[in-house]
Amino acid sequence: MSTIVNIKTIPQPHGFTLNERTFTLRFHGDTFAQDIPEYIPVRIFAQVDDKWAGLFPVVHTTPGERLVRNEPLTAAKFPFLPLPQGFQPSSAHEWQQLVKNIERDLLADPHLSNTDPECYVLMRDLFWMAFVAAFPPFPYGTNWPRWNTCISMDGDFISRWALKDANVFCHDDSPDAHGAVREWVWEQFSTTVEEMLSIPVTH
């Protein structure tokens, strides 16, 4: 079951947020009290109109007495951060090296997606941001390398990028277009790292 609600927008320096909303979930049906789990994981999915397809939503949860989550996300869980001093977001080579570093850390623990799904999802999103910046033609054409298939093409960023109609760069393989892609990805990457991990990202 799903429902659509309209939520007021709040302008921010790097985009906008949505006004906070409180919601409840009620499960109808007969069950025995002893069968009711203490907690139930709930997946929150944000979808907007096609005209906003280029946006990258980041879902935040607000801690509360009845909210149970994994250990807080910290920089220690992301060994590839902070980025090297002098990182050049316009350099394909720098992004390619970052792809290797994130891939290494993402695959270091084969159980990460189960033991710390929030960390895994964020690291996977950052991997795909770096991959796209390193190889802007992806997933079209052939001018990009194979990656470890243990890393699925899931997540909001790569799902939106792979939509041909939403990808304004898919028909332009010029150096200028590649530069525009890297500039755009850098904004997404740096904003995500700063907002989710409180790690300043500069170049």
Amino acid identity of residue 13, one-letter, is P
pLDDT at 30: 67
3-state helix, strand, coil in the chain (%, to 5): 40, 5, 60
pLDDT single digits (tens) 13-25: 556 777 766 666 6
pLDDT single digits (tens) 116-175: 888 999 999 999 999 999 998 888 766 788 889 899 888 888 888 877 555 556 566 788
pLDDT at 105: 95
DSSP 31: -
- Inter-helix orientation angle 92-108/175-197, to 10°: 40
The predicted model gives 20-37 an average pLDDT of 68
**Is residue 16 packed enough to be buried (19+ CB in 10 Å), middle (13-18) or exposed (0-12)?**
exposed
Cβ atoms of 191 and 53 closer than 8 Å: no
pLDDT single digits (tens) 68-93: 445 678 889 999 999 998 999 999 99
Which of these ranges, 34-38, 95-99, 177-181, has the smallest mean pLDDT? 34-38
